[in-house]
Amino acid sequence: MKAMEWTIGWWRVSLQRVYPTVSQLSQTYDKASFQWHEHLRLLGYCHAYRKLWQSLKDANVLPHWQDNLKICDCGIGTAAFSLAFAQTIDPKTQITGVDISPQMLKIAHQKLSQTNISHQIYQRDVRSLPFADECFDGVISAHVLEHLPNPEQGLKEIVRVLRPGAPLIIAVTQPKFIGRLIQWHWGNSCFSQKELSELMYEVGLINLKFFPFPVGLTRLTSFVGIGFKN
């Protein structure tokens, strides 16, 4: 990322974005994990996720998936996005969750088990997924791309595991006032629709569509992009 520079007299001052390491990010989310799901619920994210999936279903923008649906959630956290997907789209979905935080994964396993959703979880970086090419019917991801120092690398890896014609549904933080506050606290980036669109096209996704969250705080902080593997 290009540094910002100012010249003051005989001095040149430079400011550049610094990303946390994978280890630092894992430790940060491990510490946050114990209250994470409850905070998502209180802030309305769990409800907003369900409303989002319902609105996408009603808009007929999702594929007409068959039985034995296999979905990968990249950056599953405590499984809020996956739970909303399975409860709204298909309760028989097989969820494969990936996250760098072992404590987040532990809670995700508990939440998915409590609701009898078939699942597997892996502690891995989304830039290095432990799966074969073209093995998933879809990938979902909420607020993960913002943490990657090279988001194109992460998207390329996600596209690799998608079957041809399968969608990526990705939620990102947008660069508005509340998004900037989130960015200051968590050290993540923000994406405009134009920036996300360019990234998705660069990694080979087509038929792009973008949607606001239908309700709640998420409508002010985030939006969703959908693209299909060519």
Residue 5 in domain? no
- Determine the pLDDT at residue 80: 95
Residue 27 in domain? yes
pLDDT tens-place string over residues 64-94: 998 899 999 999 999 999 999 999 999 999 9
Q: What mean pLDDT is predicted for residues 111-121?
A: 97
Maximum average pLDDT range among 1-10, 15-24, 32-41, 174-183: 32-41
Higher pLDDT, 221 or 176: 221
Owning domain of residue 88: 20-229
Residue 7 has pLDDT above 60, yes or no: yes
- Determine the pLDDT at residue 216: 80
Q: Is 183 exposed, middle or buried (0-12, 13-18, 19+ CB in 10 A)?
A: middle
Instruction: State how far Cα 103 lies from the chain centre.
Output: 18
- Determine the pLDDT at residue 218: 83
CA dist 12 to 18, 219, 228, Å?
19, 40, 45
- Determine the pLDDT at residue 179: 46
pLDDT tens-place string over residues 14-39: 655 556 676 776 677 667 667 778 88
Q: What mean pLDDT is predicted for residues 89-105?
A: 95
Helices 193-202 + 151-160 axis angle, to 10: 50
- pLDDT averaged over every residue in the chain: 87
Residue 3 in domain? no
Residue 108 in domain? yes
Residue 119 in domain? yes
Question: Tokens in use for 230?
Answer: 């060519």
- Determine the pLDDT at residue 2: 46
Q: What percent of the chain has pLDDT over 90?
A: 64
Q: Considering its fold, how many domains does the chain have in total?
A: 1
- Lowest pLDDT segment from 18-32, 71-85, 104-118, 214-228: 18-32
CB 176 within 8 A of CB 220: yes
d(CA 120, CA 128): 17
Residue 1 has pLDDT above 50, yes or no: no
Question: Tokens in use for 117?
Answer: 């959703």
CATH of the domain at 88: 3.40.50.150
Among 193, 227, 224, 185, smallest CA distance to 29 is for: 185
Higher pLDDT, 12 or 79: 79
Maximum average pLDDT range among 21-25, 177-181, 182-186: 21-25
Residue 13 has pLDDT above 90, yes or no: no
Higher pLDDT, 82 or 186: 82
Contacts with 138 (C-beta within 8 Å, 6 or more apart), sequence order: 63, 65, 69, 71, 72, 162, 166, 167, 168, 169
d(CA 181, CA 106): 28
Residue 8 in domain? no
pLDDT tens-place string over residues 138-162: 999 999 998 888 899 999 999 999 9
pLDDT tens-place string over residues 39-66: 888 888 899 999 999 999 999 999 999 8
Transcribe 120-189 into DSSP letters: EEEE--TTS--S-TT-BSEEEEES-GGG-SSHHHHHHHHHHTBPTT-EEEEEEE-SSHHHHHHHHHH---
Residue 11 in domain? no
